[in-house]
Chains A and B, each alone.
Chain A
């Protein structure tokens, strides 16, 4: 089975700014691939090249075995796109936009559309100008998921959704994938990518800096631990998998690998735990730690 997306050495410049500087990215058939990076790293530009909306200056792009620039029309029957900033025609209703976009893509699954509208709690009779950002996003999501396609490109799809809708969205995507259907999910929120992705790629300043499965990227899954202890933790034994330990009086902070939590907690408990805060690392911390650069 061929890869859903294969990008090699993709370069795209706008005037003097270089938006993509040799991107390599592979999305396997049937996987949800997280595409992680800070704002302005080149995520949206990459997606637009994948759609043939922008023309690559150099490098090769193959989507579902076809060239997205030359074969855009054929290819778009098999893929759907949800832009990050959904702009709709103000005097059409949400329902009309869903039907139009799905039909233009080559087919509308009525049954599925009804289920999705209900699941996302969307009122399709409203004029698009009355929709909030989140509701405009729902319209684009329903339109994309109501066609039978093999590949979904999602650009920060949950940016306008509330937590309830976000979990609904995750459920829908999990149910949708598999059977050879793939998703490229762009986001700047690690937790969102983590919850859905099989593999992920990290982009920074127009270059992919890391690709792999979540287990392969173990260092990404370090938990940051902050504990307030009853007794000051002196003479701590060295523990494997525990990094960047800082002791400040009764306060203890560190980064810990997932499998080392077992060993760390009994040690902390021996000093008496008054409060314990654990957090997944933010994208900003990751970039600072692993790529030695502050995220703008």
Chain B
């Protein structure tokens, strides 16, 4: 028990450190499920319409690979939460991995574990505290989702089965992260390794679900924590017993992490750091080179994910839009101001959501400015012959060019995959354009960060609050008929929903001018303020 000494103190400490971000995450997941469920419930009022839609999805291998199978075609809950079973499993896995790494390897890397370890704190206390914090987050998400889904009219047993399936999947990835945190020296590498495991397990269940039959998936799905969550089959059997598998897996994996923790030195991993080059490359001689060197691994990761997802969704979009083409769906989409053409409407909807994700990349990339400053790196750079403007430009260029390339790759991969299915390249140009029109809104978010950075570099996280608010407006505003001025507050609301709508240039020009003004204000303010020092 000595190894656990201090666990509860550290848990309380971790909860205190995360008192703002964690509640936001915990609220976000139930919000996503409830809004997604309430939006689709209206689309399939009769059992007949559900059986048709579910049958169509189950017969489409790409859809099964992407989302999984609907095990009870008559079930309203299974159909409306289909997207959030596998995709939600991925998202909750990412949250769990980030939480564990933040409280284990990141702390160790920054030398704070050393400080704590010198106190009366057991060897396993920090890891245990991280797991407890994650467990608290997962259980909260499970219970709130269960209550919320029951409240919008879905069966209670299935709603809680859905919530706990999510939580169990999350805990399994938390346990995987506990192990990768023991293996690598850097927090980034620990996260990266766990993300690779996540991607592989997603693929395993995709292959397993496609390879199975109408009654059961093949064994491959049973090798994946995301598969375990899906095999609980919420609203289609509610097999709570399946939860035993992720629970046992998590306990075993955590024990393995404890064993490694007991044997290794503080600050070391099982995978050692390799020696690097003794001299820098010739071209490594500018703040621009440094910014790209620090950020290109992230951009490459995003590009890979964008390409793969866009290819998959693009490949099924034609079939999917035919299958969804019910009179109710048409009414619904028309009511939301969308196009009459189901394919256009689907593409426009998909792209409008991806724009938020791309904007997130821009925010992450340009927030690096604030991180570099708080770490004291900026002090070293500005003590050399580098102007403040040139320094801000370096990371800004990563955000601007990065989002441009992401948008382009997303539109193009989607368009080409779709063209390969339909056999015509007529729509390629229009589809790529539909993706590119969001750039002014995406860059506006980047500009917001630059402005905040100029005035209050420690508050750049506020940009996330803006982005999430705009996302909520986009997802729920029309559905709940919010007043127009609320809708207009979001820059994303002013972008024409191509294809299918007319392109309005004016809002794009105005947004770009606003962005320029914000960027210039940020630059000027940064040139006139003191550097934040550690």
Report if A48-B533 is in contact (Cβ < 8 Å); known contacts: A87-B376, A89-B294, A89-B377.
Answer: yes
Question: How many angstroms from the CA of A95 to the CA of B387 in the assembled complex?
Answer: 23
Say whether A95 contacts B280, CB under 8 Å.
Answer: yes
Q: Is A85 part of the binding interface, using a Cβ–Cβ cutoff of 8 Å?
A: yes
Taking a contact as CB atoms under 8 Å apart, the answer to whether A126 and B386 are in contact is: no
B186 touches A91 (CB 8 A): yes
By a CB distance below 8 angstroms, the chain B residues around A100 are 280, 284-285, 289-290
Q: How far is the CB of A58 from chain B (nearest CB, A)?
A: 15
Q: Range of interface residues on chain B?
A: 35 or more
Determine whether the beta carbon of B530 is less than 8 Å from that of A53.
yes
**Provided the pairs A87-B380, A129-B186 are in contact, do residues A105 and B279 lie with their beta carbons within 8 angstroms?**
no
Q: Is A150 an interface residue (CB 8 A)?
A: no
Contact A76 B375, beta carbon cutoff 8 Å? no
Asked if B20 is at the interface (CB within 8 A of a chain A CB), the reply is: no
The answer, yes or no, to whether A294 is at the interface (CB within 8 Å) is no
Q: In the complex, are the beta carbons of B383 and A51 less than 8 A apart?
A: yes
Q: How far is the CA of A85 from the CA of B185 in the complex (A)?
A: 22
Q: Across the interface, do A99 and B279 meet the contact criterion of CB distance under 8 Å? A: yes
Q: Confirm or deny: A145 has a beta carbon within 8 angstroms of a beta carbon on chain B.
A: no
Evaluate contact between A73 and B383: CB separation under 8 angstroms: no
A50-97 interface (Cβ within 8 A of B): 51-55, 72-74, 76-77, 80-81, 83, 85-93, 95-96
On chain B, the residues within 8 Å of A85 by CB distance are 376, 534
Q: Is the interface of B mostly helix, strand, loop or mixed?
A: loop
Q: Which residues of the partner chain A approach B286 to less than 8 Å between Cβ atoms?
A: 104
B113 CB → nearest A CB, Å: 14
Segment with Cβ contacts to A, from B270-278, B353-361, B458-466: B270-278
A124 within 8 A of B: yes
* Complex Cα spacing A103 to B384, Å: 9
**Inter-subunit contact B385/A96 (CB<8 Å):** no
Does A256 sit within 8 A of B, measured CB to CB? Answer: no
Pairwise interchain contact A104-B377, C-beta atoms closer than 8 A:
no
Most buried by A among B293, B381, B382, B529: B382
For the complex, give the distance between the alpha carbons of A124 and B275 in Å. Answer: 9
A53 to B382, CA, bound (A): 7
Closest chain A CB from B530 CB (angstroms)? 5
Whether a CB of chain B sits under 8 angstroms from the CB of A125 is yes
> A55 and B530: CB pair below 8 A?
yes
- Bitwise, B132-155 to A at CB < 8 A (1) or not (0) is 000000000000000000000000
The A211-227 residues at the B interface (CB cut-off 8 A) are: none
- Specify which chain A residues have a CB less than 8 angstroms from the CB of B375 in the assembled complex: 87
Which residues 367-417 in B have Cβ within 8 Å of A in the complex?
A: 375-377, 379-387
Interface residues on A, range: 35 or more
Q: A89-B294, A104-B287, A127-B276 are in contact. Are A76 and B531 (CB under 8 A)?
A: no
Given A48-B533, A53-B531, A96-B279: A106 and B385 interface contact (C-beta under 8 Å) = yes
B528 within 8 A of A: yes
A130 at the interface (CB under 8 A from B): yes
Chain B neighbourhood of A126, CB < 8 A: 273, 275-276
**Closest CB-CB distance, A156 to chain B, in whole Å?**
14
Q: Is the CB of B284 within 8 A of A99?
A: yes
B109: CB under 8 A from chain A? yes
In the bound assembly, the distance between CA atoms of A87 and B373 in angstroms comes to: 11
Complex: A101 Cα to B377 Cα, angstroms = 11
Task: Give how many A-B residue pairs fall within 8 Å (CB-CB).
Answer: 114
By a CB distance below 8 angstroms, the chain B residues around A161 are none
Interchain CB contact (< 8 A) of A87 among B294, B377, B528:
B377
Asked if A140 is at the interface of the complex by the 8 Å CB criterion, the answer is: yes
Complex formed: what's the CA distance from A95 to B289 in Å? Answer: 16
In the complex, which residue of chain B has the Cβ closest to the Cβ of A93?
Answer: B276
Q: Are B385 and A73 in contact (CB under 8 A)?
A: yes
A52's nearest neighbour on chain B, judged by CB, is B382
Nearest residue in A to B185 (C-beta to C-beta)? A129
Q: Chain B contacts of A51 at CB under 8 A?
A: 382-383
Taking a contact as CB atoms closer than 8 A, the residue among A53, A74, A92, A93 that contacts B383 in the complex is A53
| Inter-chain contacts of B376 with A (CB < 8 A) | 83, 85, 87
Which B residue sits closest to A110, measured CB to CB?
A: B279
Residues of B close to A129: CB separation below 8 A: 109, 185-186, 273
- In the complex, are the beta carbons of B186 and A95 less than 8 A apart? no
CB 8 Å contact bits of B491-534 with A (1 = contact, 0 = none)? 00000000000000000000000000000000000001111011
Contacts of A81 in B (CB 8 A): 383
Minimum-distance CB pairs A-B, first 3? A99-B280, A87-B376, A93-B276
- 15 interchain pairs (CB within 8 A)? A51-B383, A52-B382, A55-B528, A73-B386, A73-B387, A74-B385, A86-B380, A87-B379, A89-B290, A100-B290, A106-B384, A124-B279, A126-B273, A130-B185, A130-B273
| B contact residues vs A (CB 8 Å cutoff) | 109, 185-186, 188, 273, 275-280, 284-287, 289-290, 293-294, 375-377, 379-387, 528-531, 533-534
Chain A interface residues (CB < 8 Å from chain B): 48, 51-55, 72-74, 76-77, 80-81, 83, 85-93, 95-96, 98-101, 103-106, 124-127, 129-130, 140
